Amino acid sequence: MAITSANQLELLQTAEAVAREKMIDPDLVVQAMEESLARAAKSRYGSEMDIRVSIDRKTGKATFTRVRTVVEDDALENYQAEMTVEQARQYMADPKVGDELRDEVPPVEMGRIAAQSAKQVILQKVREAERDRQYEEFKDRVGTIINGVVKREEYGNVIVDIGRGEGILRRTDKIGRESYRPNDRVRCYIKDVRREARGPQVFLSRTDPQFMAELFKMEVPEIYDGIIEIKAVARDPGSRAKIAVISYDSSIDPVGACVGMRGSRVQAVVNELQGEKIDIIPWNEDQPTFLVNALQPAEVTKVVLDEEAERIEVVVPDEQLSLAIGRRGQNVRLASQLTGLDIDIMTEAEESERRQAEFAARTNLFMEALDLDEFFAQLLVSEGFTSLEEVAYVDLDELLVIDGVDEDTAAELQARARDNLEAANKKALEHARELGVEDSLVDFEGLTPQMIEALAEDDVKTLEDFATCADWELAGGWTTVDGQRVKDEGVLEKFDVSLEEAQNMVMTARIQLGWVDPADLVSEEDAEEADGLEEEEAGA
């Protein structure tokens, strides 16, 4: 039966029924019907024509209109849907480019093929609207927990019914020993929602650290209310986890609140995570203190922090080493994730051996370079001198505080140190020139002969070569590869060149070569300063 001869209200009733079933806007279904009728009309009147259909939202009456657009003379391509300004004067008083001439045309009866095509258009539009609705519904729920029912398992991935859609719990996002059967209830964390060709994909997880944080938020009212904040979470899913918390109310103990009466709150989270053991740790702004807390239950003797390298050395008693490291390195790995630092753990005996080795190496350096006996060299090391530069250029008074050192002795020590350094500099520069270093690099301010030698050995021989270096290539740095932090050795790292110093030297070289205009740098700095002021004003 032809659509146009049917009860006109039936169109609207059908649209409302489909919209109600798919939970989408009825107007979207009516628009799909209009498009399908327009396509059928084009097959009847000619595909070159611009036929548009409008369905009255109250009566259901479909109006078919032919539209012709006024275009420039040289832009006329489709005679059925376009006309020139001159042609338009037959129908309009003062036609302009862009005006449209609309003529109503008789409605078309839809044959079987046209009706089938219209049905496909409507189904496609409804499907797209349903996908958009699903995406809009779930995209704002990323980072929250959702309850679902297991539908089936495909290649280790679990498909979960989450109400108005499906979610996928991938094999890597399941806690190791968990298995599911159809109709099992499961609680998951919405990790990501993406638009894809086959519809919105909702990715679920039970291994994400934030899943545990959200579970605590559900169990601990103080977290939900913002009195207690979860600052960091680290998990070894199904085995062990650490969570760092801080209280903004001095009368509330953050750890006690998370544990609950007789452990009721934390036990609820443990049960949901299949018995995962959870260490609840008080967070502290002081990183060494926070790390000592994070390594619990192990006791820590000493902490040495290297902020630039984001590394930390921890000294523990010999009998606490295995406890600090944990089974298969689990405890130290979780503490590292929690603090965001690389952690080196050593025993008191190992630290003592290292300190003795450093003491001996510095003693030997002073004995050989300054022609001192062992006792005198040890005195210098004990007073904190670590290099010849410190001895050569330190204020004379700092040498005079050493027992048995008078002004003459101090002056002699500094003279010997300077002679040794000058000889070493001369030797390094000669070697660098043998390697082919040019004067442009030798004359560059800020580079010592030893630095120039190290650069030459790394095939950096001209100022142009130096200007093309990245700051981390000079100062060294850390990168993350496959989840592991890897050290990048810098050419000048052994000379204690910081990343900022490396940036300044490279930029200076580029300015000297004319690659960078200093005025551009000033304007960038001004812009950054202005942004900073705006942020401060906004904060105020």
Per-residue pLDDT tens for 143-161? 888 888 988 888 878 888 8
Percent of the chain with pLDDT over 70: 86
User: Helix, strand, or coil here: 395?
Assistant: coil
> What's the CA gap between 97 and 95, in Å, rounded?
7
Average pLDDT for 99-113: 72
Chain-centroid distance of CA 499 in Å reads 22
Given the structure tokens 């300044």, which residue do they identify? Answer: 504
Class of domain 3-127 as given by CATH = alpha beta
Residue 282's pLDDT band (cuts 50, 70, 90): very high
Query: What is the per-residue pLDDT for 540?
Result: 46
Which residues does 527 contact at the CB level (< 8 Å), separation at least 6? none
Residue 143 DSSP code:
T
pLDDT tens-place string over residues 380-413? 888 888 888 888 888 877 887 777 778 888 888 8
205: β partners: 189
Domain chopping of the chain, boundaries = 3-127, 139-206, 283-357, 454-539
The CATH class given to the 139-206 domain equals: mainly beta
Cα 189 from chain centroid?
A: 19
1 pLDDT band, cuts 50/70/90, is very low
pLDDT one-digit tens code per residue, 174-216: 887 778 888 889 889 888 888 776 777 888 988 888 988 999 9
pLDDT at residue 252 greater than cutoff 60: yes
139-206 and 283-357, same CATH topology: no
pLDDT, tens digit (0-9, with 9 covering 90-100), for 293-325: 888 878 888 787 766 656 678 888 888 888 888
pLDDT score at 525: 52
Residues 6+ apart with CB under 8 A from 170: 156, 157, 203, 205
In this predicted structure, the answer to whether residue 77 has a pLDDT above a threshold of 80 is no
* Contact predicate 245/209, CB 8 Å: no
d(Cα 253, Cα 237) in Å, to the nearest integer?
26
DSSP assignment string, 433-455: HHTT--HHHHT-TT--HHHHHHH
What CATH number is given for 283-357 in this structure?
A: 3.30.300.20
Residues 6+ apart with CB under 8 A from 270: 276, 277, 278
Higher pLDDT, 141 or 487: 141
Q: Name the H helices within 295-347.
A: 321-325, 330-339
**pTM of this structure:** 0.56
Complete DSSP assignment for 56-100: -TTT--EEEEEEEEEE-GGG---TTTEEEHHHHTTT-SS--TT-E
Mean pLDDT of 505-518: 87
List own/partner pairs for 6-12 with CB under 8 A and 24 or more apart: 7/60, 8/59, 8/60, 8/61, 8/62, 9/59, 9/60, 10/60, 11/55, 11/60, 11/62, 12/55, 12/57, 12/60
Percent of the chain at pLDDT exceeding 90? 5
Rounded to whole angstroms, the maximal C-alpha distance in the chain is 118
